Homo-oligomer: A and B are copies of this chain.
Amino acid sequence: MADETLFQLLHTEVVAAAYGGGRGSGDEGQRTGLTVLESMGFRVGQGLAERLPRGALAFREELDTIKFLCRDLWGAVFQKQADNLRTNHQGTYILQDNNFPFLKQMARGQQYLEEAPKFLAFTCGLLRGTLSTLGFESSVTASVASLPACKFQVVIQKP
């Protein structure tokens, strides 16, 4: 029984619950579901970051912190690293995962792309919550061009 399976199964249930029971239908329900998932991710990210060894919180530059997400956060949550990181060196970062675990079980095909956001919202929140506890306010959005690859765009808010 692999640990990552456990977390992924629970995540699947969380997504289903956020869209279940009549919730999540229509545009407004869709937005509510995404907000619920993003908020849960945010608090989990905060919780994870609060449990980091104290040294990990102290020294970090912005780019170091983003690299930490790609390597350590991705490692803890998905047992691998993010595949690519790009930045404009002005506070915008693109984290790319070519085989994103929460999208892997989805059927392939253009017609399923509209289902993808619900499997990305939690992770957007997770990134934003972790960053928040590490001292960086941000906005995080996700996009999918071709399943199961996706990109998370992190924009650090300047104080």
Contacts and interface: CB of A to CB of B under 8 A. Distances in A.
B5 A47 contact: yes
Given A10-B7, A10-B11, A17 B40 contact: yes
Interface in A82-105: none
Interface in A2-20: 2-7, 9-14, 17-18
A14 B13 CA distance: 9
Interface string A116-148: 000000000000000000000000000000000
B40 A2 contact: no
Interface in A24-80: 36, 40, 43-44, 47-48, 51-52, 72-73, 75-77
A10 B9 contact: no
A116 B110 CA distance: 45
A44 B6 contact: yes
Contacts of A48: 1, 5-6, 9
A14 to B, nearest CB: 6
Across the A-B interface, the 10 shortest Cβ-Cβ residue pairs: A1-B76, A9-B47, A13-B40, A9-B44, A3-B3, A7-B7, A1-B48, A10-B44, A10-B10, A5-B51
